[in-house]
A and B are shown apart, each in its own frame.
Chain A
Amino acid sequence: MSEHYSARVMRLSLLPVAASLLFFSGGLASQQAPIVVGSKNFTESYVLAEIMAQTLEFHGLTVEREFGFAGTLVAFEALRAGEIDLYAEYSGTISQAILQTDSEFDGPALVAALAPLGLEPLEPFGFDNTYAIAIMPALAQTLRLERISDLRAHPTLRLGLSHEFRDRADGWPGLKRAYSLPQESSGLEHGLAYQALLEDEIDVTDAYSTDGDLVRYDLRLLEDNLGYFPTYLALPLARGDLDPRARAALASLAGSIDAAQMRALNAEVVVNGRTFADVAAQFLAGRGLATGTPQPRSRLQERLLANVLVHLKLTSIAVLAATLIGLGLALSVYRSPTVSKAVLYTAGLLQTVPSIALLALLIPIAGVGQVPAIIALFLYSLLPIVRNTITALITIDPLLQRVAVALGLTQAQRLRVVYLPLALPHVLAGIRIAAVVSIGTATLAAFIGAGGLGEPIVTGLALNDTGLILQGAIPAAALAITVELMFEVLERWLVPPHLLTRQAVS
C-alpha cells in the first residue's frame, strides 16, 4: 500500500494540469471576431445592449454578449481594454465620470474628446435619461404642478430624495439653488421612494426619467423648465476600430427610442417580468428591424453548463497557480521563522481586502474579464495554502527531522520522502479550503465581466429576480460541495488513514 504513496503524489500533480489544458483548448476554439456587446448591471443598460446585439445579428453579424459589468468604471475599462466592442452609455456620464469635466459635451465635442482614447460615441438612441422630479398624478392635478418652478409656491411639500441625489452637486443642492426652492428634503433609499409616495409618506421624489417604475406607479414628471439637469443622452459607446458593418447596422437605431418608449421597455422588464431579449425583440419587430422571431434563447442546461465551465476554469487556474506558487513560497521560507511570519502576514493582509474592492483595484492593472478575476482568486488562495504548508512543515516532529538528517538524506531527499509526505494532509486541506472559497468568491467575478455562475446572480440582482439568482447560487453551492467531496476522496487515496485522522482541519 504505502509503496505507491509517492507515485500517487506524482500523479496527483498532473491532474490539474491536464484539466486546465482542456479548458484552455476549449476557449481557443471560437469563431472569427464576433462583436462583443457589453452592458452595465441595470435594466436599461441590459435592454439597450440586447437591442444593439439583436440589431447586429439581424444584419448578419456574429455577436457575443458580455453583460452585467458593475458600474461605469468597469464597463468603460472593459471597452478600453477591448474586452467588449461597445455598450450603451450616457453623454452626461461620459463627461463627468469618464472625462471628468464639468462642461457638457454634445455631438462633435464628445467625438473629439473621446477620439484620443480610441473610442467613439455613435448616434444617440433618441432619449435623455436624466434626473427627474416625480410626484403622484392626483397631487399634480390638485396643485396644478407641471414644472419644477411650480414647487416654489408650496413650501410644505415633503421631499423624500435618494441619498445619492441629495449628495451630488448636480443633484438637490444645485436644484434648490437654481429654482430657489423653499423645502428641506429627507433622505431615503431610492427603492423605497415609490412605496413612500404611494403610502403618502412623501410628496416628491427624484427619479431617472426613463425608470420603468414611473410607468408602474403612473407618476408625473415635472418639467425642468430652467434646463438645470445635465443631459444624459443614451448612445452606443464603441471602440474606434468597430467593424464598419456594425457601425452601419447601429445607425438604424439613431433617434429610434424616445423617453416614453424607453420607460415602457424598462417597465416590460421590471413590471411584467419579461426577459431583456424578448423586450428587445418585440421593440425591433415593431420597427421592422428584426425578423420578429426573437433570437432563440439558449436552453437552461446549456447556459448552466457554459457558466459552470467558465466557473471551473477561473477557479482551477487560480487554485492550481496558487498551489504551485504557494508550495514553492512555503518551501523557500519555512526554515526562517522571520521570513515565514512576513509571508504569512502579507498573505493574511491580502485576505482581508474585500473581494469586490480587490477586483476593482485590479482593473487599472489587469483590466476586466477573466484575467483579473483569476489574479484575485489566486491571491485569495495563497494564504490557506502557504499557511497550511508552512505550519505543517515547521511542526514536523523534531526527532523525525533529526533522524532523517542522521540517516544521511540530503536536504532535497528529506523534503521529498519525509517532510512533504508528512505535511501532505495539511497541504491538501489548505488547497481544499482555497478551492472551496474560490468557488464562492468567483461568483463575484461576474461584476467585472468574467462570466461564470456569478452572471445569473448579477443579472438576477439587477432585476430582483430570485429565480435567476438561484440559477447561479445553487450550482455554485453544488460545485463547492462536489469539490469538497472530491478532496475527501483524494485525501483518502493519497494519505494513509492513520495520518488522516490526526489531521486538524484548520
Chain B
Amino acid sequence: MSEIIELHDIRKRYGETDVLNGLSLSVRADVVTAIVGASGSGKSTLLQIVNGLVRPEQGRVVVFGAPLPERNLVETRRRIGYAVQGTALFPHLSIVRNMSLVAEVVGWDEERIGARALELMTLMDLEPGLGNRYPHELSGGQQQRAGICRAMFLKPEILLLDEPFSGVDTLTKGEIHARLAALLAVEPTTVLLVTHDIGEALTVAADLIIMQGGHVEQRGAVTDVLAAPASGYVRALLGQGHAA
C-alpha cells in the first residue's frame, strides 16, 4: 500500500541549530498519528514541511504519492487541512466565513456552504447560531472546535493538527477529543497530530512517532510503543519512569 505522507532524510536548520537531522518517516492513511516530543524537538517544523510552509535544506517530501511541488502549492494545500494552537481564527470574519473562506474562493454556492457548515458544526457539537458570531464571542473550546471545522471544510485527505487543543482545561479537551473522533469516524482522514501531551496522544492516536533532538526516537502502533519503549527517553515520556 502506497503511503500518503513520506519524508526521507529531512534536514532543516534555523541559523546554527539543526531542528531536523536526517529525519525519515511515513504515515498510514486514514489513521491518527501523533508526533510526541519535548518542545524544541522539531515537531511543529515537521508539520509545516508536509504542507510546504517550511522547505527543508535536504531530503525528499512525498505527499499524495508524489514529491511536493516546488511552487504553486495552492491546490495541494487545499487537500491538506491545518489547525494550530491558539485557533488563529480570523477576527474580522464570522465563524461560518472563517470556515468557508476557501470554499467561497473556489466557487461553492451559498447553499452548499451552508449545508457543509451545518454538517461540520453538528458533528463538532457547535450550535448553528454560533455561525454568525465573531470568534471573540465564543469560548476557547468552541473556538478550537471551529478551527477543526475550518480545517475540515473542503474534506481534505490529510489533516495537520499543531497542538490545537493545548490551552483548554482537561474536561473540555476530553469533549473535543470525543468530537474529533466522531467526525473522523464519519470522514476518515489521515491525521498528523503534534502534541507534547502524551495523554492526548494515547487517547486520540493509533500510531505514535516519538521525537527527540530532531530525529525519530521510536515509531509504531500505540500498543507496540507502550509494550516496548525503545529507550529511557521514551519510557520517561510515557510516564513509566524508573518504576517501569
Contacts and interface: CB of A to CB of B under 8 A. Distances in A.
Interface string B82-122: 10101010111110010001100100000000000000000
A407 interface: yes
B194 to A, nearest CB: 14
Contacts of B90: 400, 404, 418, 422
Contact of A5 (B88, B92, B105, B150): B92
B116 to A, nearest CB: 15
A22 B82 CA distance: 49
Nearest to B54: A402
B155 to A, nearest CB: 13
Nearest to B73: A408
Contact of B102 (A3, A408, A421, A495): A408
A496 interface: yes
Contact of B91 (A402, A413, A499): A499
A419 B91 CA distance: 11
Contacts of A402: 48, 53, 84, 88
A406 B86 contact: no
Contact of B94 (A1, A400, A424): A1
B51 A406 contact: yes
A417 B132 CA distance: 17
B179 interface: no
Contacts of A410: 74
A405 B77 contact: yes
B215 interface: no
A199 interface: no
Interface string B55-95: 00000000000000000011111101010101010111110
A498 B137 CA distance: 10
CB-CB nearest 4 A-B residue pairs:
A408-B78, A408-B77, A406-B82, A2-B94
B97 A403 contact: no
Contacts of B97: 2-3
B134 A399 contact: no
B8 interface: no
Contacts of B13: none
A407 B91 contact: no
Given A405-B53, A409-B101, A409-B105, A2 B134 contact: yes
Given A5-B92, A405-B77, A406-B53, 11 more contacts: A2-B92, A2-B93, A2-B94, A403-B82, A406-B77, A407-B102, A407-B150, A408-B74, A417-B101, A496-B92, A498-B91
A212 B89 CA distance: 74
Given A2-B134, A410-B74, A399 B88 contact: yes
A496 B160 CA distance: 30
A466 to B, nearest CB: 49
Contacts of A413: 105
A422 to B, nearest CB: 6
Interface residues of B, number: 28
Nearest to A398: B88
Residue in B80, B84, B91 with the greatest tally of chain A CB atoms within 10 Å: B91
Contacts of A418: 90, 101
Interface in B180-226: none
Nearest to A407: B102
A260 B218 CA distance: 109
Contacts of B51: 406
Residues of A contacting B: mostly: helix
Contacts of B53: 402, 405-406
B111 to A, nearest CB: 15
Given A1-B132, A407-B101, A399 B91 contact: no
Interface residues of A, number: 26
5 contacts: A2-B132, A399-B86, A407-B101, A409-B105, A499-B92
Contacts of A5: 92-93
Nearest to A397: B88
A405 B88 CA distance: 12
A328 B88 CA distance: 27
B84 A403 contact: yes
Contacts of B102: 407-409
Interface in A215-273: none
A122 B160 CA distance: 86
Interface string A494-506: 0110110000000
A395 to B, nearest CB: 14
Contacts of A495: 92
A139 to B, nearest CB: 79
Nearest to B153: A407
A3 B88 contact: no
Interface centre among A402, A406, A417 (most CB of B within 10 A): A406
B41 to A, nearest CB: 20
Which residue, of B48, B76, B92, has the highest number of chain A Cβ atoms within 10 A?
Answer: B92
A399 B77 contact: no
Contacts of B74: 408-410
A498 B94 contact: no
A334 B13 CA distance: 27
A421 B88 contact: no
A403 to B, nearest CB: 4
B166 to A, nearest CB: 14
Interface string A352-376: 0000000000000000000000000
B171 to A, nearest CB: 26
Interface string A1-21: 111010000000000000000
Contacts of A498: 91, 134, 136
A403 B88 CA distance: 7
Contacts of A499: 91-92
B139 to A, nearest CB: 16
B77 A3 contact: no
B77 A400 contact: no
Given A2-B92, A3-B97, A413-B105, A407 B84 contact: no
A404 B105 CA distance: 12
Contacts of A424: 92
A405 B75 CA distance: 11
B84 A421 contact: no
B224 to A, nearest CB: 31
A83 B132 CA distance: 58
Interface in A453-506: 495-496, 498-499
B130 to A, nearest CB: 13
A54 B168 CA distance: 83
Nearest to A425: B92
